[in-house]
Amino acid sequence: MKRILFFIVTNIAILLVLSIFLSLTGFTGILQSNGIDLDYDSLMLFSLVFGMGGSFISLYLSKWMAKKMAGVQVISKPSNDFEKWYLQVVERQSNKLNIKIPEIGIFQSAGPNAFATGSSKNNSLIAISSGLISNMSRNEVEAVIGHEMSHVANGDMVTLALIQGIVNAFVIFFSRVIGHFVDRVILKNERGYGIGYFFTVIFAQVVLGILASTIVMWYSRQREYRADYGGAMLTSKEDMIASLRALEKCTAAKLPDQMLAFGISNKGQKSFAQKYFSSHPPLAERIERLQQTDFTSNVDQHSAS
């Protein structure tokens, strides 16, 4: 309950900040001075501020929110053998990827999972669940860490926020254009906006949001394949496949809804329709993709360089 309340309060705060920003820019509304026609420039500003602004504020708050919502215990000074090993793995992989060492942490959950978040590749957090530690060998855990480190090195959090922001802006813009058309042309409202406009905007925003989410989810699935590949390059193909097979056998640790796309253990959807709305490909497909990938030439090129 506290986490839900925390999420609601945080989002209200974001909306207030964006509203204040609009008022400081002299924003007066999306209608022209005659109170009838749409002011497309103002609507575009409104859409960009709430679409892109909300997405990037959430990105910059992501580490802080992850710690609060997932209950991550950050490891600043290792207190046992595993934590020392964990830190050494992250340091070694950071050096290979030429990125700043992320914060690391553990969150309590019986199921195995891990995630990476943060505002940039040099300001990130890697967290693994207690269930991951107890259900996997160290080689498999290292491969999972490599998967998450690859997300960081690839800049996936920033790119996903950018795509989500652009999609949000388009949805906000076109839902209000549709609402304006219905209010003025179909309902013949001559001034201001009636209740038909608001119902139309809500309906259009839901429908367009669902359709637009397929774009975001498509990108999210592609980045999982890339992170699996990165995890295999940082450890080995066999260890990365073994870690995914271990995840297949377990019930994943539940993450807050806002972080589902960042967890490694999201088994994906198997039905044709559900696949389009899943942030992760099915684990079986990820395993098959790795099995079919030839890493030999890449390893040789890396050694030569």
Residue 172 · residue 50 · CB < 8 Å = yes
CA nearest neighbour of 265 among 138, 114, 141: 114
Contact between residue 15 and residue 58 where contact means Cβ atoms under 8 Å apart: no
Which pair of structure tokens corresponds to residue 62?
């992501």
What's the pLDDT at 232?
96
pLDDT of residue 29: 86
Task: Give CA 197 to chain center in angstroms.
Answer: 32
Instruction: Output the pTM of the full model.
Output: 0.85
Q: What is the pLDDT of residue 300?
A: 44
Contacts of 152 (CB under 8 A, 6+ apart): 97, 99, 102, 116, 118, 121, 124, 126
Q: What pLDDT score was predicted for residue 191?
A: 79
- Rounded distance between C-alpha atoms, residue 175 and residue 198, angstroms: 10
pLDDT at 253: 54
CB 86 within 8 A of CB 142: no
Q: Identity (one letter) of the amino acid at 9?
A: V
- Could you tell me the sign of the dihedral formed by the alpha carbons of 131, 137, 143, 149, in that order? positive
pLDDT of residue 299: 47
Distance CA 135, CA 130 (A): 9
* Domain coordinates in residue numbering, the chain: 2-29+39-300
Q: How far apart are CA 29 and CA 65, in angstroms?
A: 32
Catalytic residue among 83, 148, 224, 285: 148
Cα–Cα–Cα angle for 257, 259, 260, rounded to 5 degrees: 70
Below-70 pLDDT ranges, the chain: 1-8, 251-263, 265-274, 296-305
pLDDT of residue 266: 58
Question: What is the predicted pLDDT for the residue at 3?
Answer: 54
Q: Does 224 participate in catalysis according to the annotation? A: no
Distance CA 8, CA 258 (A): 12
